[in-house]
Structure formats: C-alpha cells, structure tokens
Amino acid sequence: MAKCMFVVFSLSSGSLCHGACVEVDSDTDAVVNEGFKLGCISCKRRGEVPAEATVEWSFMPKGESEFTKIYSYEDLTSDISDERFYERLDWNGSKKTKDLQEGSIYIRNVTWNDTGTYRCIFNRTLIFTSFKFHNDTTKIVHLNVVPRLTRGIASILSEVMMYVTIIGLQVWLVVEMIYCYRKISVQGEEALRESAAEYLAIASESKENCAMVVVTE
C-alpha cells in the first residue's frame, strides 16, 4: 500500500515544480540576419524575501579586450547605450516586476559584428525588515554568429535521451498504477469473501440453535 501511495504522490507532486526558477545557460550560436535571445537568469535564493534588481549588459567584440555597456534595465525601464544596437535590442526578461530573476535580452537582425563576448550583471537588493542586502551576479555569454544553425550529435542524442526518459517514466507510472489498482481490487474481493463467509457461518449457527430449541420443546 505504501508503494501505491508513493505513485500517487509522484503524480501529484509534479505540479509543484511549476513556477520554480531554474538557471539555464544561454544558447551561443546565432544565425546571421535572424533574431537571437541572449539568456541571463539569476534565481533569488530567498524566495520569501522581497527584492529589487537591475540588469546591465556589456559587449566585447571578438578581437578586443574591453567591455562596453550596451543595455540596462531598471525600474521597469530599458535603455540602449550603444549605437551599434539602437533599435535592435528588446527586453526579454521578467515582466511587470522589479524583483527580476531573468534578465535576458533579444537581438533583432543579428550581424557578423555581433560576434563576441556578452556580460550580464544582476545587481540585486534583498529587502529585510531592518536592513538591505546587496548582491551582484555576473553571467558570461560567448556568442558565435553562423550562416545557418546546425545541430551537433551530442545535442541530438541529449534530446532523444530526454524524451526516452520522460516516456519511460510515464510508462512506469502507468504500470505501477495498474498494479496498485489490481492489488486493491484483490484485497477488496478477499474482504468481501471473508464478510460473506462470516455471514454464512453466523446464519448457520443461528439455524442450528433454532433447531435445538425446537427439539427440546
């Protein structure tokens, strides 16, 4: 029975993961003349504590040695500070909140000159009752611009294994549910048979007692 309860818990607990913050690395290959999302996620470790955060993006072109500020997001307002990216950068992070956990941006119409290293800096302030705590997190993305996107063998195998694992887990859960259902059904039938046997035994004993009373009279 404990095994059956575990299966039910596994099915119900799956929905608890929705909305959780997961730090995923950004893609690094952008196709020229197409759009591309520069990912930057910094999860707040204390979910119950209110916070505010700002995001700043800098860019170091391939072959250079210094970063240049290109974009910032603060108080729900974005600012493009590099003319190379004017009208080409869109905010793609957390919406309608100052408590940012995703600071991704979207590059429109990628060019060959966008190849290089991008730096995303999260400046977060945790607001406690009696004090504030400041924390900075830095993410680095090495962007490579290609004529067309090709998938490597490792990426394909990883995706296949992911789907195989998901399907395998679902099959296992279905099998366990069937097993538990049959086990519960068998136990229920046995309980009914035991109840019927007890009823017949009581009825038979009552009949014998009645017969003895009649003979005595």
Residues 145 and 64 in one domain: yes
Q: What gap in Å lies between CA 74 and CA 54, rounded to an integer?
A: 5
Rounded to 10 degrees, the C-alpha dihedral 118/150/163/143 comes to 0
Cβ neighbour number for residue 212 with a 10 Å cutoff: 10
Q: What pLDDT does 137 receive?
A: 93
Residue 169 and residue 144 in one domain: no
Bridge partner residues of 138 (DSSP): 121
Residue 40: what pLDDT? Answer: 94
The enclosing domain of 146 has a CATH number of 2.60.40.10
Pair 190, 139 in one domain:
no
Q: Are residues 92 and 126 in the same domain?
A: yes
124, 163: one domain: no
Q: What angle do CA 71, 107, 55 make, to 5 degrees?
A: 30
Residues 213 and 192 in one domain: yes
Give the span between the Cα atoms of 187 and 191, in whole angstroms. 6
- The CA–CA distances, whole Å, from 117 to 69, 72, 84, 113, 208 equal 12, 17, 15, 11, 96
Q: Confirm whether 13 is domain-assigned.
A: no
Residue 95 within any structural domain of the chain:
yes
42 found inside a domain = yes
Asked if residue 37 and residue 54 are part of one domain, the reply reads yes
Q: Are residues 45 and 68 in the same domain?
A: yes
Q: What is the pLDDT along the chain (217 residues), one digit of tens a residue?
A: 544 544 444 444 443 343 578 888 888 999 999 999 999 999 988 778 899 999 999 999 999 999 999 999 999 999 999 999 999 999 999 999 999 999 999 999 999 999 999 999 999 999 999 999 999 999 999 999 999 877 666 667 778 888 888 998 899 888 888 888 888 877 777 777 777 667 666 656 665 555 554 445 5
Query: What helix, strand, coil percent values describe the chain, rounded to 5?
Result: 40, 30, 30
- What is the bridge-based pairing of β-strands 51-61 and 116-127? antiparallel
Containing domain of residue 214, as a range? Answer: 151-217
Residues 101 and 115 in one domain: yes
Answer yes or no: is 16 within a domain: no
CB of 22 closer than 8 Å to CB of 2: no
Residue 5 within any structural domain of the chain: no
Please give the model's pTM, rounded to 2 decimal places: 0.61
* pLDDT score, position 150: 72
Assigned domain for 174 exists = yes
Same domain, 86 and 141: yes
Residue 35, in any domain of the structure: yes
**Inside any domain, residue 18:** no
| Distance, CA of 145 to CA of 147 (rounded, Å) | 7
Structural domain ending residue among the three candidates 150, 176, 205: 150
Q: Which of 101, 133, 150 is the last residue of a domain?
A: 150
Last residue of a domain, one of 130, 150, 170: 150
Indicate if 145 and 170 belong to the same structural domain.
no
Pair 182, 105 in one domain: no
Number of domains forming the structure of the chain: 2
Q: What pLDDT is stored for residue 199 in this prediction?
A: 61
